[in-house]
Amino acid sequence: MKLLGIIMANASRKPANRRNAYKYSTLVLAIALVALVAYNIMGMISTGPAFGKTTSGIDTPLTSAQLSVINDAPSSYFISAGNMLLNGTLSDPVILSNNPQVSPYITNGKQTVIYIGAISCVYCGENRWAMALALSRFGNFSKLFLGYSSFGDGDLPTLYWNDDNYTRPGVSYGNYYSSNYVSFISADYDSNITQGFQLPALSDPLTYFVQKAPNSTYRGAMSFMNKTNNFTGTPFTLWGSSLNLGADGIVFGNSTPSSSKLPLTYMTHQQVLNQLKAFNDQFAYAEYAAADVYIAQACAPLTSAPPICKSSTITAIEGKLGI
């Protein structure tokens, strides 16, 4: 704008040669117009969408190329990240702790991974990346969806298991996952994405998930999780015999955030997927390491297991977890 002011100020000066006055004024005005257009374009490029405002692509299914980043992630990534977790060379905290143990929950003859979360939950948002990677070792997704955590509470690019409702309260149950080894039961509390983190206003929010379950399979899984009396907030998951009372990694960028600014907030979904595919920075290492914790938990009770369960890295993580 300073440059534009200088140009317009010069436009008011009279040229020495009166015969060129018209040409001079026309030229100056043309330059001013070009400068104004350039200024507006640069403003759009430099500012982008304001924090807490974008729902770009929300509920859009991942493309086949994007989905392959999750489904076809090389096993070597998991092994390398797991070794980094074991030798303490990760910048982001991934948690190795002894979790409450229960008997595995069986659905359709298979051990069940159960997830209870909320689309508004920033830790659920971060956690779904690691969950999806972990589940890819036992089966694959035919669909995943672009999502966000709530505006003003992360505004975080994440994955949705289903095409969730982000304008009114309710629960989205189900997913597009198949596996020969495990069943996956997922439930996310839906709410208006512009209104911050929300769960049902009940003394025991999980009763709402039980009441709203669409069928006996989901009602049984929600009841099982409720009866553990271990719910402390979302995400709340079961992997094998291990109850996870929150996210197993705090992975919001290439180092632990030192303020409320979460680097992952300012990335697009494609940028997140690019990092996971490239596997060359701390963010990717930590997400795969967080996935390894879930993999180890799911592997421990399995009698028939995928190859990753037999790796020395995963069995070493099982040892650290005490399972």
Q: What is the SS3 assignment for the chain?
A: CHHHHHHHHHHCCCCCCHHHHHHHHHHHHHHHHHHHHHHHHHHHHHHCCCCCCCCCCCCCECCHHHHHHHHCCCHHHHHHHHHHHHHCCCCCCECCCCCCECCCCEECCEEEEEEEEECCCHHHHHHHHHHHHHHCCCEEEEECEEEECCCCCCCCEEEECCCCCCCCCEEEECCEEEECCEEEEEEEEECCCCCCCCCCCCCCCHHHHHHCCCCHHHHHHHHHHHHCCCCCCCCEEEECCEEECCCCECCCCCCCCCCCCCHHHHCCHHHHHHHHHHCCCHHHHHHHHHHHHHHHHHHCCCCCCCHHHHCHHHHHHHHHHCC
Please state, rounded to an integer, the average pLDDT across all residues of the chain: 85
* Domain contains 55: no
Say if residue 230 is in the same domain as residue 279: yes
Residue 8 has pLDDT above 70, yes or no: no
88 neighbors 172 (Cβ within 8 angstroms): no
pLDDT (tens digit per residue) in 130-183: 999 999 999 999 999 999 998 766 789 999 999 999 999 999 999 999 999 999
Residue 15 has pLDDT above 90, yes or no: no
Range of the domain at 107: 64-321
Domain count, the chain: 2
Residue 12 has pLDDT above 90, yes or no: no
Say if residue 153 is in the same domain as residue 32: no
pLDDT at 244: 97
* Domain contains 54: no
pLDDT at 148: 93
pLDDT at 36: 34
pLDDT (tens digit per residue) in 190-230: 999 888 889 987 778 999 999 999 999 999 999 999 999 99
Residues 127 and 121: their CA atoms lie apart, in Å, by 10
Lowest mean pLDDT among 95-104, 138-147, 201-210, 300-309: 201-210
* Domain contains 52: no
Say if residue 173 is in the same domain as residue 144: yes
Residue 19 has pLDDT above 60, yes or no: no
Q: How confident is the model at residue 7 (pLDDT cuts 50, 70, 90)?
A: very low
Q: Mean pLDDT throughout 261-285?
A: 93
Closest listed residue to residue 161, CA positions, set 196, 195, 114: 114
Residue 44 has pLDDT above 90, yes or no: no
Say if residue 155 is in the same domain as residue 124: yes
User: Which residue in the block uniquely carries the two structure tokens 């403003």?
Assistant: 43
Residue 92 has pLDDT above 50, yes or no: yes
